[in-house]
Chains A and B, each alone.
Chain A
Amino acid sequence: MSALAHDGTAVLGRHLRRIRHAPAITVMTQTMPIVFLLFFGYVFGSALAAPGAGYRAYLVPGILVATAAGGLMTGMLQAAQDAHRGVMDRFRTMPVSRAAVPLGQALADLLANAVGTVPLVLVGLAMGWRIEGTLPEALGAFGLLLLFRFATTWIGILLGLASKSEEAAGQLGSGVFMLPLLSNAYIPTDNMPGWLRTVAEWNPISAVTTAVRHLFGNAPVPTEAAWPVTHPVAGALLWSLGLIAVFAPLAVRRYARG
């Protein structure tokens, strides 16, 4: 265990250094949401009716969760780059704890995301969004966002390690932007056709978004929806922990196998 902590910290340090030297992926994945926020908030916002205190207040939590889901992309791109540029082969031939390499990457991604969320929150506040719940609830909301980020990063790492090439991972990564569209992150699911509504409500992003809206006090919990959405905090926790329980071991195994 102490070997894992030592090696994991070293790998974490490596990723933080490389984010500093080559911040392109990180900066892009943290600034795109701001563009989305402004675009959806002011271009679509006026035309949409939303529950709660205005569309922009409804939208900010959705964008925060969509950004957390971006761990799928950063995890995948980074793991694919390491796997296909040789450096991972060196780690694999060294006496390094098997879990340390993916774990260090996931933790570095989590830290970068936490820092990158600050400007997004500030833009949200400037657009009129407010934290209307209690402080513990608000901290819970941020905690859920980070937990969900950690979960999606592990999925990304597994996909990146399994990718055929960096290009293939890049193409798959661009499709990740679609996932929040199939959820209640940007628009409510109420008026979606039945089957699509079912898909959207079982999308983990919907449960996490509903929980975050609820904890920030931005919108009431829907009463008629799929279970993870009507019980959003439990749903968000179960989704996140479940995804971690499945994908973290798979990613570690995939790394170890090569």
Chain B
Amino acid sequence: MTTTYAVLSEGLRKRYGDVHALRGLDLAVPEGTVCGILGPNGAGKTTAVRVLTTLVAPDAGSALVAGHDVVRDPAGVRKRIAVTGQYASVDGDLTGAENLRLFARLLRAPRARADELLERFDLTAAAGRPARTYSGGMRRRLDLAASLLVPPRVLFLDEPTTGLDPHSRNGIWDAVRELAERGTTVLLTTQYLEEADQLADDIVLIDEGRAAQHGTPAELKALIGSYAEVVVAGPSSLEAAAAVLDQLTGSAPVLNAERRTVGAVTTDTTLTLPRIVREIDAAGVHIVDASLRPPTLDEVFLRLTDRKEPAA
């Protein structure tokens, strides 16, 4: 059986003045999967979403969304997608209920569906208040509810949890998981590795308007590895700790005499923190603190895009 793709783009390019937002973006999102587009600010995530949702036409390249060409048949695309943006795209002057009823009317969805979604997203109590009085989390929930009035074939979420508190973030995550289970294809952009890890079947890392790397979260993590770091009591034992870490991780440790730390990247998923501590302790080094943590997004980028470490 051949894979059908909900989103398929080839060589998308978009330039705003001197800024090349997209420089040949290729994407292939199989139907029924969650694709996380991960990248720093300015990598082209939002532009990619704007092109795929027919908001802007690409300068070059092509894209099919739910089988329809974004340039030649934008109306066909619009019938099959929903978008929840980084900036809440609801009318702040209307109440939550009025917003959903307006969008339901435009989508020819029954009015009861609007009330059902208010309930589903815990907005019934606030339904009669203008949306501008909502908290960030409530606005985002209202926005997401508006995107689900008619179940879309492809749901686009542009940084759905940026600026939200952990509780609201979890609420959005649960909703996305529920949709994914029912077979909706979701394309979400995020700056948070953890978010992509939690939700996505596949992650596309984009950098400077191009897909720099893609794979499952586990594949990317294996590729990137974790970062082991120990803080020692005195500068004299830095070298000894580094030697042990070198042996355990197989990568060259980084020493910082001032902070008395030794750190190294490891892709060995069986290496545990107790073992690191035990081995260094056995070498007679007095450890003050130790950690083994997933890489930060910055580290991911430095490693996967072969960029030089920024001076700062």
Measuring CB to CB, which residues of chain A are less than 8 angstroms from any residue of chain B? 7, 10-11, 13-14, 17-18, 21-22, 85-87, 89-96, 258
CB-CB nearest in chain A for B91: A87
Q: Are B93 and A18 in contact (CB under 8 A)?
A: yes
Q: Are A94 and B103 in contact (CB under 8 A)?
A: yes
5 residue pairs from A and B, CB less than 8 Å apart: A21-B93, A87-B89, A87-B91, A89-B85, A91-B106
CA distance A78 to B226 in the complex (A): 51
Residue numbers in B under 8 Å from A95 (CB-CB): 75, 78-79, 107
Residue numbers in A under 8 Å from B103 (CB-CB): 90, 94
CA distance A33 to B85 in the complex (A): 40
Separation in Å of the B179 CB from the closest CB of chain A? 17
Interface of A is mostly: helix
Q: Mark B65-88, 1 if CB is under 8 A from A, else 0.
A: 000000000010011011101011
Which of the segments B28-36, B50-58, B187-195 contacts the partner chain?
Answer: B50-58
Known: A17-B98, A86-B88, A258-B55. 17 other contacts (CB 8 A): A10-B102, A14-B91, A14-B98, A22-B93, A22-B130, A85-B87, A87-B91, A89-B83, A90-B85, A90-B103, A90-B146, A93-B55, A93-B78, A93-B81, A93-B82, A95-B78, A96-B106
Q: Are A17 and B94 in contact (CB under 8 A)?
A: yes
- A86-B107 CB under 8 A given contacts A13-B102, A92-B54, A93-B78: no
CA distance A258 to B106 in the complex (A): 19
Q: Are A21 and B54 in contact (CB under 8 A)?
A: no
Which of A13, A18, A85, A93 has the largest count of B CB atoms less than 10 A from its CB?
A: A93
Measuring CB to CB, which residues of chain B are less than 8 angstroms from any residue of chain A? 53-56, 75, 78-79, 81-83, 85, 87-95, 98, 102-103, 105-107, 130, 146
- A90-B83 CB under 8 A given contacts A14-B102, A258-B55: yes
Which of A21, A92, A95 has the largest count of B CB atoms less than 10 A from its CB?
A: A95
Q: Are B94 and A14 in contact (CB under 8 A)?
A: yes
Q: Are B78 and A18 in contact (CB under 8 A)?
A: no
Residue numbers in B under 8 Å from A18 (CB-CB): 91, 93-94
Q: Are A89 and B55 in contact (CB under 8 A)?
A: yes
Q: Are B90 and A90 in contact (CB under 8 A)?
A: yes
Separation in Å of the B107 CB from the closest CB of chain A? 7
CA distance A89 to B90 in the complex (A): 9
Separation in Å of the B223 CB from the closest CB of chain A? 34
Residue numbers in A under 8 Å from B89 (CB-CB): 86-87, 89-90
Residue numbers in A under 8 Å from B95 (CB-CB): 21
Q: Are A21 and B130 in contact (CB under 8 A)?
A: yes
Residue numbers in A under 8 Å from B90 (CB-CB): 86-87, 90
CA distance A14 to B83 in the complex (A): 20
